[in-house]
Amino acid sequence: MKNKITQLFKIKYPIIQGGMIWVSGWKLASAVSNAGGLGLIGAGSMYPEVLREHIQKCKKATQKPFGVNVPMLYPEMDKIMDVIVEEGVKIVFTSAGNPKTWTAWLKEKEITVVHVVSSVKFALKAAAAGVDAIVCEGFEAGGHNGREETTTFALIPMVKKELQIPIIAAGGIATGKGMMAAMVLGADGIQIGSRFAATVESAAHENFKQSILKVKDGDTKLTLKELAPVRLIKNEFYNQIEALYLQHPTRDQIKELLGRARAKKGIFEGDLVNGELEIGQIAGLIDEVKPVNRVFEEILEEFQESKTLVNRFSSSFLNNVNKFFLLL
């Protein structure tokens, strides 16, 4: 399966694993890369030396390309970037910040740079900054989101209309059918988060993985927009947020409730009551914790089935159109 994304990253399939905090460690990233996709280590939940350890272990676990996802809203960015360069990582995804900040510096080091955007406006800014590709992430996605609340399948064609660089679709994609739909709309590849969070290789706590399997439609909500919009499973902590909103809180009061390390508490430590449980809407389709290679097999099989159906429909449609014009 060759296209712009497989050629850019030198991978077999245009499937990228989201670099999720407290989920995307070296085990998950290397498993995805070994399966033919692009694994990403999530630097957002790592101190610089912890990131270095994960990169080194990932290099031992796979000979295939992998990258690091860097949310720029976290501290010690300069040290994180230094570790990435020192360890010879050649692919970096950036998010939650201005792409101009690091893109030129990374490209000087011959690193492929991809930036995550939630709108056409920010896609144009990322392209102007010189990134090699962009991730168009709709607000169906879990974790931190854009403020625009534009859905993935609305965003992809709008960005495609404006840009020539490769586009990766993210948010609400976990199946081969979703992959086909995204590519029909103009995406060159897909980024998957929630489905990979519920895998054997995911670094998330087993409690969190099991909570993903229980999610139904409507069980997640985008909240905390005054700070950084984030999609959460509705649990006791979420209920506390909603109760506070009824009191018309100040930004400082919201920050006080949030406190520190809520995501770690929920995702990594498995506190389903007091933790921040970040997951996407597509979790409603996830009903089993599976190994990464099986996830790939199912996605690729369903993608090929969908491709066959689309081709069959297109052929049938064109035949009927030709018959119609012959009758005129």
Task: Specify whether the CB–CB gap between 29 and 65 falls below 8 A.
Answer: no
pLDDT band of 280, cuts 50, 70, 90: very high
Q: Are 132 and 253 part of one and the same domain?
A: no
Given a cut of 70, whether residue 215 has pLDDT beyond it is yes
Q: Indicate if 55 and 144 belong to the same structural domain.
A: yes
Angle, CA of 274, 276 and 278, to the nearest 5°: 150
> Within this chain, do residues 200 and 225 fall inside the same structural domain, yes or no?
no
Buried b (16+ CB within 10 A) or exposed e, 60-83: ebbebbbbbbbbbebeebeebbeb
pLDDT of res. 324: 52
- Position 132 scores a pLDDT of 98
Same domain, 101 and 195: yes
The domain in which residue 261 lies consists of 215-282
Q: Predicted confidence band at 321 (pLDDT cuts at 50, 70, 90)? A: low
The amino acid at residue 98 is N
Per the domain annotation, does 315 fall within a domain? no
On whether residue 150 sits in a domain, the answer given is yes
Identify the pLDDT of residue 309: 82
Residue 328, pLDDT score:
56
Beta partners for residue 92, in sequence order: 68, 113
- Residues 25, 117, single domain; the answer is yes
Kindly state the average pLDDT of the residues 55-63.
98
C-alpha span between 98 and 116 (Å, rounded): 10
How many other C-beta atoms can be found within 10 angstroms of the C-beta atom of residue 314?
10
Q: Is 94 exposed, middle or buried (0-12, 13-18, 19+ CB in 10 A)?
A: buried
Residues 169 and 234 occupy one common structural domain? no
The pLDDT mean for the chain works out to 94
Q: How far apart are CA 267 and CA 211, in angstroms?
A: 10
